[in-house]
Structure formats: structure tokens, C-alpha cells
Amino acid sequence: MSTRYTEDHEWVRMEGDVAVIGISTYAAEQLGDVVYVELPAVGAKFAKGADMAVVESAKTASDVYAPIAGEIVAVNDALSAKPETVNEGPEAVGWFVKLKPTNAGDVNALMDEGAYADYVKGL
């Protein structure tokens, strides 16, 4: 499945029955150098739109929202020791969490890459 995006600049990519979630390249560029990432605990459950994580840069701190509802099954522990990984590959190695969706179909309601690119152009 392709990557899907939210208006808050999170991305979701399904890998089997698990959603991999992070922040978009656009969001990482707006933040600048990421210096800290606070991730949720494995087993934590989130409703769609709930505060799920925090990312801090030299410029600001931002909440990362759950783009879909579900339970955290893995976190990217590498971000604790090396938060700059988010800047190096925000839509690859810089992923934040893996989540078991409450309803996998919710991903389809998010923007595809073309719609997200158009959305970002309007900002």
C-alpha cells in the first residue's frame, strides 16, 4: 500500500496488518534539527487524533497525533539515542511507531501522496 498522510503531517504506511507511522518530510523540514523525540509505550492505545508522541527541535516542540486509532506494538527506540534520524529519513528510518489499527480501513480515508503534495503547496 502507498503512504497516506494527515493534515497534521503524519504519514501512515501499512505493512501487513500493522501501520507504520511517522512525520512527513515537510514536517521534518519545518521543524529543523530534531533534538528529542518522546514516544509512547508499547501497549498504549490511542484514538484517532489523540496526542501520541512529541518531537522537539532547536526551534519548537510539536505533538504528533495518531492518524488512526489502535494499539502501539513497536516503537523506534533508535530515536531516543539519535533523534536526528528523523531528519535523515523522516519517511523511512525515522518512523516513530508501529500500530495495530482498530480499523485498518481508516487508512484509506487519509490523503494519498498526490493530495498531500497539493495540500502542502497551499500552505
- Annotate 32-81 with DSSP letters as a single string: -SEEEEE-PPTT-EE-TT-EEEEEEESS-EEEEE-SS-EEEEEE-THHHH
Confidence of residue 1 (pLDDT cuts 50, 70, 90): low
CATH code of the domain containing 37:
2.40.50.100
In the numeric block, the cell 533523534 is attached to 83
Does residue 111 sit within a domain? no
The domain in which residue 70 lies consists of 4-102
Rounded to whole angstroms, the Cα distance separating 39 from 30 reads 20
What's the pLDDT score for residue 117?
Answer: 97
Q: Which of 24-28, 96-100, 104-108, 111-115 comes out lowest in average pLDDT?
A: 104-108
Kindly report, residue by residue over 63-73, the tens digit of the pLDDT.
999 999 999 99
Q: Please indicate, yes or no, if residue 89 is contained in any of the structural domains.
A: yes
**What pTM did the predictor assign?**
0.96
Reported confidence tier of residue 5, pLDDT bands at 50, 70, 90: very high
